Structure 1
């Protein structure tokens, strides 16, 4: 009987190391098919899961409350599992180099509790070579075991899209890889228990690692192209959205749009690939150019907000600005690597301290990570500028009258709307006399 069969018969357990936006949904999904241990070093987070509270809003409180995952922050519990999935964040440092501390720390913790016959699968985004060249030596050192003889490893890049209720773990083809054919077969079968869309067996662990970083790098480059077009068309006084709507009528035009690129994937993964390329003596041309464009979009939006204030003959440093949205994407509480903070910081350079509203954002995280207070929209009034920064459902459903209540009581020509996500109907807003600008 191999490990897969033992898992199906609930004789062996699966462990999830890292219970964030990726790890927690995986743990819950597997708990419907097998015995699962959910481990995280954050006791506060684990306590919330034990109480049936889902702070990520990825699966919901009911799913958490009714699942059979054994949530714990006690690392010794990992000894009870034989199939381990590591799903911890892989951020970047201030100099844009990969920060492998979380995945190294997780490897140390798991290594201390690794038993013979185990399989370890990494899901964290890394550059090619990290699993075998960085993680395996740590596992061996901490456990005293030998990879290939006492335990095996694999890699299966996470593809969960936070806040997306359509593209879920179950509906996205899962790329899997293993250090040998036997390991690959077991890993594939285990993931097939929960992934209805099926699995794709990559040729090697490095191929799977590379596939992950190029998925988001490709998206990043395409968005950078849209952002550059937006900058060019703005100088030409041409509406970018109108241009894209026209271009999209061609069957093979890619439907990307300009915007802020933050979060823990698209704005981070390209740096992992270019870092490895630099080590090998190659300096990225296209990827890093795209990153520079996208990293500067917050500053660009803030600058155009200030230009709109000046055109409205208002005093810049006394203007009241409200930003609707602070998370890195719509309908998701995650503020990690949000680029809205770039707008905030740039406006502060002009003496403007914007008020931020976000009904979805993790308020404690916003204070802890950015020292930003999130206000309730009912507290907002007498604004000169409203920046629609994130297309949360709550903002998209706001009527013009509701938006207008946020402004000072003056003629519409003095009321400035900056529509980052093109939520509003431009023709209607301009017809009503608002000073309107969008990417």
Structure 2
């Protein structure tokens, strides 16, 4: 298993209950915690790690030479220009080229555009190994469907799409996953079909959220509560239950750019997909602007004004900081000259500082803030309730609820 993050570790654990599995990762810290039976991502419980009695961990590529199946679960991020960053995938492919041998099967799970596995990864493996694709080694693609923080939908209970570079390889890959995925598998006709299926899953969600975000902007100008509108519309059996908000994380806010990149390569300029991306990427600045307006109406704002941001993770009840768009709100507020304190009981403080230069605070003090922004619906904030959250602020503090977590009449503004 190449990569032991949110995707790789849960799958390695399930496979490690039935097959000898070596988990490989570049991070010595990550390897050490896993060897000690701890998972800082909180996706795998300590007892589950113990149950995977055939699973071992290493950071030494030489230990991978004895394997005959390789599963790649490295990140596929975007760069500063919102273009695919194949760096991790190319590095993993170079590693594989040094360890694969005749008869091996290499399966990729990382989200890419249709064709990337065979256009980007396979040539690197061929070059590094000197082996010929579909003669000496074979490939498969089985897109990950991990939902961080979700304790109901786990790797074994989510149907798995599988594919292979030849009919025989496809059957082999499908049988391997079917042996541990209790929800079953769906064998796609080709690697390209499986790649396309993955990238449109999150593109569809991104566009649906973009529509609801745009409706929220319209309803705000009309002084209509968006949640009330959605509750009313939701009484129709086929109305889709999407909600407005920040679109971050390693999938929904990233994957559409892989598809649009490929579309542009073949001469098609995608309009709807990119329009949805632009709108969703603008929501952090919009929220910050709404908070500033509310504070300006209620009290004067100066460089001494302080705002408490509750939540930094990209979603509730998990420590995942990847592509969190709460950062957009913070940066926008800081551009206005405001001081922002950020509190998140789930996030590792050192990771927040390393990734974003944000120093998290511990328990916020009472009566300190001119504005309070509830950005993430962590259960701790639900348990606090309105009165305890408002107690962090001064008597005339503004309370803005991004997630519509609190009663409408208890907050000063929300999406």
What TM-score comes out, normalization by structure 1 length? 0.93
Cα offset, 1:335, TM superposition? 0.5
State the alpha-carbon separation in 1 of the partners of residues 228 and 64 from structure 2.
Answer: 54
State the alpha-carbon separation in 2 of the partners of residues 225 and 88 from structure 1.
Answer: 31
* Partner secondary structure for residue 159 of structure 1: coil
State the alpha-carbon separation in 2 of the partners of residues 31 and 380 from structure 1.
Answer: 48
Within the alignment, does 1:422 sit opposite 2:398 as a pair?
A: no
State the alpha-carbon separation in 1 of the partners of residues 372 and 18 from structure 2.
Answer: 48
Report the equivalent of 2:167.
181
1:210-359 alignment runs, 5 A limit: 210-359=196-345
Contact preservation (8 Å) 1:156, 1:208 = yes
Report the equivalent of 1:115.
101
Contact preservation (8 Å) 1:262, 1:339 = yes
* Partner secondary structure for residue 92 of structure 2: helix
Aligned residue pair count? 414
Q: Which moved more, 1:307-316 or 1:103-112?
A: 307-316
State the alpha-carbon separation in 2 of the partners of residues 116 and 380 from structure 1.
Answer: 65
Q: 1:342 to 1:378 in 2, by over 3 A?
A: closer
Q: Which moved more, 1:148-157 or 1:360-369?
A: 360-369
Which of these residues, 120, 132, 155, is aligned with residue 141 of structure 2?
155
Give runs of ≥4 in structure 1 deviating > 3 Å.
378-381
State the alpha-carbon separation in 1 of the partners of residues 390 and 294 from structure 2.
Answer: 17
Cα offset, 1:317, TM superposition? 3.2
Unaligned runs of 5+ in 2: none
What TM-score comes out, normalization by structure 2 length? 0.98
Within the alignment, does 1:40 sit opposite 2:25 as a pair?
A: yes
Q: 1:66 to 1:170 in 2, by over 3 A?
A: closer
Within the alignment, does 1:384 sit opposite 2:370 as a pair?
A: yes
Contact preservation (8 Å) 1:357, 1:375 = yes
CA offset digits 1:284-303 (Å, max 9, x no partner):
11000000000000000000
Cα offset, 1:18, TM superposition? 0.4
State the alpha-carbon separation in 2 of the partners of residues 66 and 207 from structure 1.
Answer: 35
Report the equivalent of 2:92.
106
Within the alignment, does 1:127 sit opposite 2:109 as a pair?
A: no
Report the equivalent of 1:53.
38
Cα offset, 1:380, TM superposition? 5.6
Within the alignment, does 1:438 sit opposite 2:391 as a pair?
A: no
Q: 1:380 to 1:208 in 2, by over 3 A?
A: farther
State the alpha-carbon separation in 1 of the partners of residues 310 and 178 from structure 2.
Answer: 41
* Partner secondary structure for residue 274 of structure 2: helix
CA offset digits 1:139-161 (Å, max 9, x no partner):
11111111111111010000011
State the alpha-carbon separation in 1 of the partners of residues 364 and 254 from structure 2.
Answer: 35
Cα offset, 1:266, TM superposition? 0.2
State the alpha-carbon separation in 2 of the partners of residues 67 and 127 from structure 1.
Answer: 33
Which of these residues, 83, 90, 99, is aligned with residue 69 of structure 2?
83
CA offset digits 1:67-122 (Å, max 9, x no partner):
33111101111112111100000000111110000000001011111122110000
Report the equivalent of 1:30.
15
Contact preservation (8 Å) 2:35, 2:57 = yes
Cα offset, 1:401, TM superposition? 2.7
Report the equivalent of 1:5.
none
Cα offset, 1:65, TM superposition? 4.3
Report the equivalent of 1:18.
3
Unaligned runs of 5+ in 1: 1-15
State the alpha-carbon separation in 1 of the partners of residues 128 and 350 from structure 2.
Answer: 35
State the alpha-carbon separation in 1 of the partners of residues 312 and 261 from structure 2.
Answer: 29
State the alpha-carbon separation in 1 of the partners of residues 94 and 301 from structure 2.
Answer: 55
State the alpha-carbon separation in 2 of the partners of residues 134 and 400 from structure 1.
Answer: 51
State the alpha-carbon separation in 2 of the partners of residues 381 and 78 from structure 1.
Answer: 56
* Partner secondary structure for residue 375 of structure 1: coil
CA offset digits 1:300-339 (Å, max 9, x no partner):
0000000010010222433210000001111111101100
State the alpha-carbon separation in 2 of the partners of residues 316 and 210 from structure 1.
Answer: 50
Which of these residues, 352, 357, 360, is aligned with residue 371 of structure 1?
357
* Partner secondary structure for residue 198 of structure 2: helix
State the alpha-carbon separation in 1 of the partners of residues 358 and 206 from structure 2.
Answer: 27
State the alpha-carbon separation in 2 of the partners of residues 415 and 437 from structure 1.
Answer: 12
Cα offset, 1:52, TM superposition? 1.2
* Partner secondary structure for residue 387 of structure 1: strand
State the alpha-carbon separation in 2 of the partners of residues 90 and 407 from structure 1.
Answer: 40
